[in-house]
Amino acid sequence: SVMATRGCGFKCNFCLSAKGGLNDGKFRPRGIKNIIEEINEYKKNGVNAIQFWDDTFTMQKNRTIALCNELKKLNIKFVCNTRVDKVDEEIMTALREAGCQSIFFGIEAANDISLNSFVDKGINVDQIKNAIGLCKRYNINSTMSFILGNVNDKIGDINQMTELAITCNPNYVLFNIYT
């Protein structure tokens, strides 16, 4: 695993990396040169695939594209985590060309009220559908991760999660119990 950044700057109320959590969610990127040097050390030892463990790998669009341009030169495969509101055609092109094989999206809930009132995610269902659609278009695997058992969840909310997962048809789906 490689961490190109720390923190995220969003305010999802369940997350330790968010504002109000560890380091108050402050987003702190590493230098691209430093990241590439680290990956080159792994490559010297036979590593040809990595996982970027950043909370939001694509947080800064221009930086992400610059990093992808450097990753392309390494001919390495990777997976990453990000938010559905932090991907677009340009980012997906850069990720695909750089060797991205899969993206993990924290979806958490399946309706706009839950997303913004209960988990304070700041995304909407249309963005979720768009992000998973982009992954399909760019031949990048996708994972949708949901949180079950939020204090405000009703059985209908949980059913909507299943329905959204079926509608989007990602490669993988995770249903996590809120503890």
pLDDT tens readout for residues 4-60: 988 776 665 665 565 555 556 677 889 999 999 999 999 999 999 999 999 899 999
Contact status, residue 84 vs residue 115, Cβ threshold 8 Å = no
From the list 79, 83, 95, the residue with the least C-alpha distance to 121 is 83
Task: Give the model confidence (pLDDT) of 45-98 as tens digits.
Answer: 999 999 999 989 999 999 999 999 999 999 999 999 999 999 999 999 999 999
Sort 41 into a burial class: Cβ within 10 Å, 0-12 / 13-18 / 19+.
exposed
- Rounded to whole angstroms, the Cα distance separating 77 from 149 reads 35
Measuring CA to CA, which residue among 2, 148, 132 is closest to residue 76? 2
> What was the pLDDT predicted at 10?
64
Q: What is the pLDDT of residue 130?
A: 98
Of 169, 91, 101, 105, nearest in space to 140 by CA: 101
What distance in Å separates the CA atoms of residue 101 and residue 161, rounded to the nearest whole number? 24
